[in-house]
Amino acid sequence: MKAIDFVVRDSAGGLQRGTVPDGAQAHAIQAGAGQEISLNLRQVDLASQVREGSDLVITLTDGRQITIDNYFNGSGTPNRLFISADGYLNEVAFVDTGAGELYAQFGPTEQWGKWSPSDDLIYLGRTELAAAGYADNEVSMFPAPLLGAGLLGGGSGVAAAAVVGGAAVVGAGGGGKGGDGGGGSTGGGGGDRDLVQDPYVNDPDSVGQIGGDGAEQQIVITGGGAPGDKVIVKLGDVQVETVIDTEGHFTCSFVPPNFPPDGTYEAVVTVVTEGGEVVLDGPGYVIDLTPPLVDVSTGTDSVGDFFNAVSFAGGVTLSGTGEPGASILVTIAGIEQTTTVSEGGTWSVNWASGTLEGGEYSTGVTIVSADAFGNTTTITDTVVIDTVSNVTIDTANVETDGIVNAVEQQDGVTLTGTAQAGSTVVVNFGTGSHSATVDANGNWSADFAMSEVPTGELQATVTAVATDALGNSSTATGLVDIDTLVRDFAFTGSTGGTDGVINNEEAAQGLVMTGTTEPGSSVMVTFGGSTQAATVAADGSWTVNFASNVIPTGEQTAVMTAVATDIAGNVDTITRNVEIDRDGGILTISPAPVEGDDIINQLEASDGVVLTGTSNPNAVVTVTMGGVAKTVNADAAGNWTAHYSNADVTPGVYTAQITATTTDSAGNTLNASDSVEVDTRVDNLGVQANIIEGDGTINGAERVNGGGVQVTGTTEVGSTAVVVTLNGVAVNALVAPNGTWTANYAASQVAEGTYTATVSVQATDRAGNTATVSNVVNVDTEVVPLSIDGGVGGADNTVNIAEAATGIDLGGEVEIGSTVSVNFDGTPYAAVVDSAGNWSLTIPPSAIRDGSYNANIVVTATDAVGNVDTINDTLAIDTSAPSGPAIESLNEGRVGFRGMSTDLTDDELSVYQVQDNGSVTEVASQSGASMTRPETNIEFNSDVPDGSHLVITATDDAQNTTGTYVVLDDGAPNSTIAINNPALGTYNIETVDMTFAEEGNLTIDEAALLALSSNSNQLMILGGADDTVTMLGATRGTSSGGQTTYSLGTEGTIIVDDQIDVIT
């Protein structure tokens, strides 16, 4: 195997070269998008091509595989593949043959010999993968422009150096300026050579540049000559030596510390040959790895510059020095400005007014300088911008509360505020103007003498002008509240009513004083040894309250003092005299019990009530009892008497309040009070008729249970007697201490039936008052009406199969509001009762037992008050279907059939004929018992044709019907029976008889079977060996008595004579 060279050229013209090693069975080449990939191969070297996803897999004739990853990229410019050898370049196109296999098509693209854009992709060497004969173990990777033109017929090759990663890389190629230029090479690299190569240097006329940030410090100079010759390469004062390898190539690399300093150089290559030294010109290089110098002269904090409001208005300009020709990029607050350093080494940039934000701040500035080689220098600094100045005046805290009062005005006023640190502040206030004292934090203060501070009530203007350290100026104004007096302070209220004297009644109400003052003031008022804070309204009006216990007693003149303090702290005082007379005299009500026991009953109220007492001699006394007032005069000894008639005493049970009132000349009023009980009626008398027996109704059970009926109620506590009368029967009730009473009636004392009874109660209370109340109670001891309707089971009063299939409807009449339960054949059911008292119930078909029997019916009704009654009945049930008629013989005439016989039966027999169109018609016939056999003979009124299909039904007394389907012989084979005829379901067919037919043929499925009879899901089929029954899907069961049972579907059962041929 041989190594295989390849080259990848991207869309920008950049080249990447590589080799598939000779020992690698698989090798991967990474592709991007829009790339050109050239392999040093010929067409005969490719064995196959396959697409695997986005990858291209190429299998060579020697078995190796080359995978080009992402060759079929999903997006972007497509990649292109070339193969090149012997100086030719072919582009490879692919046709997809399916399953990923690709067919390669080759087209000639370029032939080396004259420069073209494809030269980078052309290889001159040969691969020989498909044929043996080469001893070398490498395939040439030299691209055409770097090899001597003599290989293909003359001329010296010229090529430019490629720059990769900052290092100049010179590939193999033609001779340099210092040699003879005529040397040649086989280009095969290694192995036997026909000629000895003269010394040469690759790309001797090229000039490479090395510089810029991150540039790799490496220079590689290559060339060739005779193997073993010594090579000396010098760049300036730096020298590198090597020896030409066995392939005739040499490489000299300059890397630190053996790397030239910045400058311009031309390599000198000396080859020491057997014939002496050969000096050759090499490539030239310009090296610049030094970053440019840059500095700031104006506009930044580092040089002491700043921008105030005036200078900022003209824009922000920065300037400095740097390397001539270098670019300058200056960034402030994300906004960039660019320029180029002048030949004189200076630069300047400007941000026009409005570009940067004004205010007071410092922001970073970044300056980046880049020279022609890409070397950069970055410096940072700060730009100081201050376009604002500020000053404030603290008027809210002047003299602590923001107001200058009279006391504070007397000792002068100090004003304060804030400004920027380092500012000067001038303050004007009142009649004064002063330069403020400003501390290091910008806090300022200015003192104004008493003579400069205004007086009265006003707002004085203060102005402060501040100039900061950068020359910015600002002005603030404010208002200082001046208040050096208390306005409008006075009493406005009066004391003692219209006479100006406070008596007992007025004193009892407390004392309220009002006045006015300056809004916002506080007022403290002192009276009777008590000091109270007045309530001051927003308009300056004030009110103060003194409790009655504060007001002095007796007769005297007291002094009231008020002190006002306004919001500025100014104080004023006023006084007033208050006249007092609080000496009232004497007033009593006699403590003796009224009417002897302090209780006025109905009898006592009827002849009037007398009240007595004492007061000041000859005083006028107003006496009130139970809200009725009497005015009386005391005698000379001070005794008074008040008379109340029967009309003055309000009937009822209550406590009557007694009061006596008298007023002296000063208006002092004396009051005395007492009370007396009034009881002129029996209270709380009632009968609880609505809860007799829990619901106000006595039913039958309640009448007899527990020994009878109990009537209860209430009366006034302490009542002495309660007599209860129920429906004319009187009983003495038992009265409990809490006033409840109970009267018990035996069952014999309460008549049966349905009626309304009156309950009357008479009670006597402890005061001897009597009263009577009455109510009613319902008596209901029966359920009326209660009945069950007849006619159930039709005209014969018997429920047959058809009637049972729809359920049994029961009903009757019952007392309105009752509930009804029905026990049918041992199972209980709840009936529905409508608002008219009709009850109804449907017994479901599932609850009706099969067979012939009498079902017991028990109807139990419970009326609304709990009375219960029961009635009984029976209902005949017959759900046993008769046996289907068994055909014993046929009576055949000359044409058709005259009749037939069946097994003996008491059931009613009917004959029907199935017509060709599927309809069923009745056959007129006569039937009767045979005289000679235990059979029933049926004689048709008219002959029935041969081959007819008949249905013979048996109907019992309950009208239950069972049918047999009979096929009559017509002398022809293969009689088909259409058993799925929907008209047959009316006749409950449970037997199909093919005995009399020749080769009967019956086909049946589950649906047809279930439709034949509503009596059961079973069918019996009779016949012989010439008959056939088809019932697909049926399951064979047991056999007995010459018949076999089959299951058809999920519900059907068919019993078939064993002689019949059955198909399942």
Residue written as tokens 């490498």? 138
My answer on whether 592 and 575 are in the same domain is no
Dist. CA 899–CA 302, nearest whole Å: 141
Average pLDDT over residues 845-872: 93
Residue 99 counted as domain residue: yes
145: helix, coil or strand?
helix
Q: How many CA atoms lie within 13 A of 494 on its CB side?
A: 6
Dist. CA 284–CA 509, nearest whole Å: 123
Dist. CA 245–CA 956, nearest whole Å: 130
User: What contacts 21, CB < 8 A, 6 or more positions away?
Assistant: 3, 27
My answer on whether 409 and 467 are in the same domain is yes
1011: helix, coil or strand?
helix
Dist. CA 774–CA 689, nearest whole Å: 9
Dist. CA 604–CA 119, nearest whole Å: 149
The distance in angstroms from the start CA to the end CA of the chain is 78
User: Is pLDDT at 473 greater than 60 in this prediction?
Assistant: yes
**Predicted local distance difference test score (pLDDT) of residue 196:** 52
User: What contacts 629, CB < 8 A, 6 or more positions away?
Assistant: 622, 623
Residue 287 counted as domain residue: no
**Average pLDDT along the chain:** 87
**Predicted local distance difference test score (pLDDT) of residue 696:** 81
396: helix, coil or strand?
coil
| Predicted confidence (pLDDT) per residue in 861-880, tens digit | 999 888 999 999 999 999 99
User: Is pLDDT at 134 greater than 60 in this prediction?
Assistant: no
Tokens at residue 231, please?
A: 């090579």
My answer on whether 298 and 445 are in the same domain is no
**Predicted local distance difference test score (pLDDT) of residue 973:** 79
The most distant pair of C-alpha atoms in the chain lies apart, rounded to whole Å, by 178
Q: What does DSSP assign to residue 1003?
A: E
Residue 288 counted as domain residue: no
Give 110's pLDDT tier (boundaries 50, 70, 90).
low
Q: Which residues pair with residue 460 across a beta bridge?
A: 480
Average pLDDT over residues 286-315: 94
Average pLDDT over residues 117-137: 52
My answer on whether 325 and 369 are in the same domain is yes
Residue written as tokens 């300036």? 236
Dist. CA 520–CA 536, nearest whole Å: 8
Of 554, 581, 608, the last residue of a domain is 581
Nearest to 26 by CA among 72, 71, 57, 47: 57
| Rounded alpha-carbon distances, angstroms, from residue 663 to 497, 584, 668, 673 | 15, 8, 5, 15
**Predicted local distance difference test score (pLDDT) of residue 475:** 94
Give 37's pLDDT tier (boundaries 50, 70, 90).
very high
Average pLDDT over residues 766-790: 89
| Predicted confidence (pLDDT) per residue in 39-53, tens digit | 999 888 888 999 988
My answer on whether 667 and 807 are in the same domain is no
Tokens at residue 328, please?
A: 């300058």
Pair 22, 3: CB distance under 8 Å: yes
My answer on whether 476 and 617 are in the same domain is no
Centroid of chain to Cα 625: 74
| Rounded alpha-carbon distances, angstroms, from residue 779 to 247, 706, 743, 976 | 140, 17, 17, 79
CA torsion, ordered 791, 794, 799, 804, to nearest 10 deg: -110
Centroid of chain to Cα 701: 63
Tally of domains within the chain? 9
Residue 731 counted as domain residue: yes
Pair 875, 845: CB distance under 8 Å: no
Residue 282 counted as domain residue: no
Average pLDDT over residues 405-417: 93
Helix (H) or strand (E) holding 505: helix 504-508
My answer on whether 346 and 332 are in the same domain is yes
Dist. CA 263–CA 623, nearest whole Å: 137
- Least confident segment among 64-68, 765-769, 891-895: 765-769
| Predicted confidence (pLDDT) per residue in 880-924, tens digit | 999 899 999 999 988 899 999 999 788 899 999 999 999 999 999
Of 656, 679, 702, the last residue of a domain is 679
My answer on whether 370 and 497 are in the same domain is no
| Predicted confidence (pLDDT) per residue in 549-599, tens digit | 999 998 899 999 999 999 888 999 999 999 998 877 899 999 999 988 898
Which strands, in side-by-side order, build the sheet including 207-211?
A: 207-211, 276-288, 263-273, 230-235, 238-243
DSSP 588-648: EE--SPGGGTTEEEHHHHHT-EEEEEEESTT-EEEEEETTEEEEEE--TTSEEEEEE-GGG
Of 654, 679, 704, the last residue of a domain is 679
User: Is pLDDT at 810 greater than 80 in this prediction?
Assistant: yes
pLDDT above 70 coverage of the chain, percent: 91
Centroid of chain to Cα 68: 52
Q: Is the dihedral of CA 875, 879, 880, 884 positive or negative?
A: positive
My answer on whether 65 and 153 are in the same domain is no
**Predicted local distance difference test score (pLDDT) of residue 137:** 35
**Predicted local distance difference test score (pLDDT) of residue 118:** 61
Domain region containing 597: 587-679
Q: Is the dihedral of CA 499, 503, 509, 514 positive or negative?
A: positive
My answer on whether 546 and 620 are in the same domain is no
- Least confident segment among 265-279, 490-504, 567-581, 791-805: 791-805
Give 125's pLDDT tier (boundaries 50, 70, 90).
low
Centroid of chain to Cα 441: 55
Dist. CA 518–CA 521, nearest whole Å: 6
In this structure, what are the phi and psi dihedrals at residue 498, rounded to the nearest 5 degrees? -70, -25
My answer on whether 661 and 612 are in the same domain is yes
Nearest to 349 by CA among 384, 310, 392, 300: 300
**Predicted local distance difference test score (pLDDT) of residue 165:** 29
Tokens at residue 348, please?
A: 């300047």
| Residue 974 zone, left/alpha/beta (φ > 0; ψ -120 to 50; rest) | left
| Predicted confidence (pLDDT) per residue in 418-451, tens digit | 999 999 999 999 999 999 999 999 999 999 999 9
User: Is pLDDT at 111 greater than 60 in this prediction?
Assistant: no
| Predicted confidence (pLDDT) per residue in 731-750, tens digit | 999 999 999 999 999 989 99
Pair 229, 273: CB distance under 8 Å: yes
Tokens at residue 164, please?
A: 């990769």
Provide the 10 A C-beta neighbour count for residue 260: 18
Dist. CA 530–CA 684, nearest whole Å: 55
Tokens at residue 120, please?
A: 């980078």
**Predicted local distance difference test score (pLDDT) of residue 1050:** 94
In this structure, what are the phi and psi dihedrals at residue 233, rounded to the nearest 5 degrees? -120, 130
Give 179's pLDDT tier (boundaries 50, 70, 90).
very low
Dist. CA 892–CA 888, nearest whole Å: 13
**Predicted local distance difference test score (pLDDT) of residue 289:** 92
User: Is pLDDT at 536 greater than 50 in this prediction?
Assistant: yes
**Predicted local distance difference test score (pLDDT) of residue 88:** 77
Report the b/e string of 848-858 with b at 16+ CB within 10 A.
beeeeeebebe
In this structure, what are the phi and psi dihedrals at residue 805, rounded to the nearest 5 degrees? -65, -25
Dist. CA 910–CA 934, nearest whole Å: 19
User: Is pLDDT at 715 greater than 60 in this prediction?
Assistant: yes
Dist. CA 126–CA 110, nearest whole Å: 16
Nearest to 11 by CA among 76, 74, 61, 91: 76
User: Is pLDDT at 812 greater than 80 in this prediction?
Assistant: yes
- The number of residues making up the chain comes to 1064
Residue written as tokens 């150096």? 161
Nearest to 928 by CA among 899, 965, 950, 956: 899
| Predicted confidence (pLDDT) per residue in 972-1004, tens digit | 778 889 899 999 999 999 999 999 988 999 999
**Predicted local distance difference test score (pLDDT) of residue 113:** 44
**Predicted local distance difference test score (pLDDT) of residue 413:** 96
Residue 276 counted as domain residue: no
CATH number for the domain that contains residue 563: 2.60.40.10
Residue 284 counted as domain residue: no
Pair 160, 178: CB distance under 8 Å: no
User: What contacts 62, CB < 8 A, 6 or more positions away?
Assistant: 1, 129
Provide the 10 A C-beta neighbour count for residue 616: 16
Residue type at position 495 = T
- Least confident segment among 88-102, 211-225, 268-282, 580-594: 88-102
Average pLDDT over residues 835-840: 95
Higher pLDDT pick, 182 / 469: 469
Give 1's pLDDT tier (boundaries 50, 70, 90).
low
Provide the 10 A C-beta neighbour count for residue 750: 21
My answer on whether 655 and 704 are in the same domain is no
| Predicted confidence (pLDDT) per residue in 442-466, tens digit | 999 999 999 999 999 899 999 999 9
Q: What is the CA radius of gyration of the chain?
A: 69
Which is it for strands 207-211 and 276-288: parallel, antiparallel or unpaired?
parallel
Residue 793 counted as domain residue: no
Average pLDDT over residues 137-152: 30
| Predicted confidence (pLDDT) per residue in 928-963, tens digit | 999 999 999 999 999 999 999 999 999 998 999 999
Average pLDDT over residues 697-723: 88
